[in-house]
Structure formats: C-alpha cells, structure tokens
Amino acid sequence: MRIGVFLLAAGFPGVSPEQTLRTALEYGSAAEDAGFDDVFVAEHHFMPYGTCPSALTFAALLAGRTRRIGIGTAVTVLSTAHPVAVAEQAAMLDVLTGGRFTLGVGRGGPWVDLEVFGTGMEGLSHRAFAEGLDVLCAWRSQDSVSYDGEFHRFREVPVVPRGRPRMLVACTSPETAAMAAARRLPMLLGMHCDDAEKAAMVRAHGVRAPHASVVVAHVAESRAAGISLLRQTMPAWLRPGMDAHVRFDGTRQPMRDPDAYAEHLTAIHPIGPASYCADRILQARQATGIDHFLLFVEGGGPEHTLENIKTLGSSVLPLLRNA
C-alpha cells in the first residue's frame, strides 16, 4: 500500500490565506518526518475552501524542503492552463526531484476561473479535456511533439527537459473514467465518494491501474470524540468556501449544506482510534481494490492538524505496514 497526505491548504476562519499556505508547507514537511509515502496538494482559485492557486508551484517549493517523500498535485486544473505549459513544468519537477513527482489533473468546474483565465466554457468541455490529456501523454512519452486538434494546434517542437512524470486523472463520472482508461491513466477519486461509489468507478474504468483514493482521516480517543470534533470544525471551513463558488455566468450554484456534508464525510471515513482508522482503510482497500490512499488531515482545523499528522504516522501507518 501507499499511504500519503492530501493537503487542501484549507482556509479556516480567523487564519489568513497567507498563513494557511505557510502552515500547509509545514504539514508537508511533517508528513515526510512522520513516514508517509507522499503528499498531494489541491488547487483552487478565488475561494477560502482551498487557498493554493498553483499546485505545481506549491509542489516545487515542497520538493525543495524534502528529500524522500513523493509529491503530487491533486489536482492541477487543466481547463485554466495550456497543457504544454503544464507538461513542461511537470517534466521539470520529475527531473529535478529524481522521479518523486506525480501530476494529477482535473477538468475543473463551470466557475468564474474560466472567465479570468480567458479559456471560456469551451475549455471545460470533455473534448478540450481529452485533447489536454493527449498532449500531456505525448509530452511524457516522446522526444518531440506536434498537435493538430480542435483546441490545440502547434508545429513539432522538442521536449525539453525529457521528464516522465506519473499521472493521475480526477474522475467524478463514468465518462471521465472511460477517458482515463482509454489512455491507460489511473484515477484519483475524491473524499465525497464512499467505498461502493469508488468500487463502481474502478469497474467503469476497467483497466488495471494504480488508482488513488482520498479519505478524511483523524485519530481520536474514540470514534464519537473524533466525529464530534470534525462536525464542529468542518462546517465553519466548508460554509464560506461553498458560498464562494461563482459560476461562469455569474450565478451561484446551490451547494451542499455544510453541516450535512460534514456529517456525510465523518460517517464514511476513518475517524477514531488508530486501530479503527487502520481497519477502515484496509476495508476500503478490499472493497475498492485501490492500494493508494491520500489522507485529508486538516479537518480538525489548524489547532489539531500537525498532531493528527504525527499521530497517524506513529500509530496508524505501522498497523497498515504490518497488515
């Protein structure tokens, strides 16, 4: 099994985005010290839900602060970036980290990002995302690349540097899973899904691949204590972030109720004593066939996250390694 940490650089009330980002870097370094296999960071624009606007930049800085741990993006939003620019940065990180880097990409949503970055709704289409994936795959497998598609056209250019980063594709539908499978790319499945939903996505993908699954993980004296804490802290983080989702057309999309969402997440994920957390991850592995888990550790807020990382490393990781 691979057990990593998933960082949102989550914006909790009373903490500035700048401090949140600096603290998230400390979490990444702490994850290496705690024995985790990798750290993946999310990317969000113009909202406090996640304060990191460039997962690639964060990954590069974290790579310079660490020596062993794998580093990845979960995800780089492909609808707001040119795939060649993403491919070049990913290749450079692969080369400079000695192969520690994994590029996770996602399609994104119909948010105002598309207006700000000038890509428009066309950039969000399944066709544009498919083309972006094709460019990325060509860039990591060929010495030179040209492309003549609906959204991207360029003459043959050399691939410099010649990095070969691993890739993951964030998948939230069978259509996206099929798109990843056609390119033999593994999936990244989010924490909003339970084991049954993730198992269904693995079946829809249909190709044996090293998929990754994000889960909320928090060690507490009892399951009740852990759930109680996260149901207090998570809605205060979720609410302003959900309210900040502005659609491309200027409207606000109805979002999940933060309290109900926190209740859903705490019901399905490894929260409680170390033995329960380990057993729950092993159950998820058996149910889904996925061997790579990324633990979202920030649910308890800044006061609890660093200790949560250390405790997961000292008490849960050994149980998983022995299993």
Query: Among the residues of the chain, which ranges form H helices?
Result: 17-33, 55-65, 83-96, 113-116, 126-139, 174-182, 195-205, 223-243, 258-268, 274-288, 302-311, 317-322
Q: Are 58 and 72 in contact (CB under 8 A)?
A: no
pTM higher than 0.95: yes
Q: Does residue 95 register a pLDDT over 80? A: yes
Place 243 in a pLDDT band, splitting at 50, 70 and 90. confident
Strand bridging mode 101-106 / 76-77: parallel
Say what the pLDDT of residue 99 is.
Answer: 98
Q: Does residue 145 register a pLDDT over 90? A: yes
What confidence tens digit (pLDDT) does each residue in 102-114 have? 999 999 999 999 9
Establish how many alpha carbons lie within 13 A of residue 307's alpha carbon, considering only the half-sphere containing its beta carbon. Answer: 7
The domain total for the chain is 1
CATH of the domain at 182: 3.20.20.30
- Give me the domain span that covers residue 181: 2-322
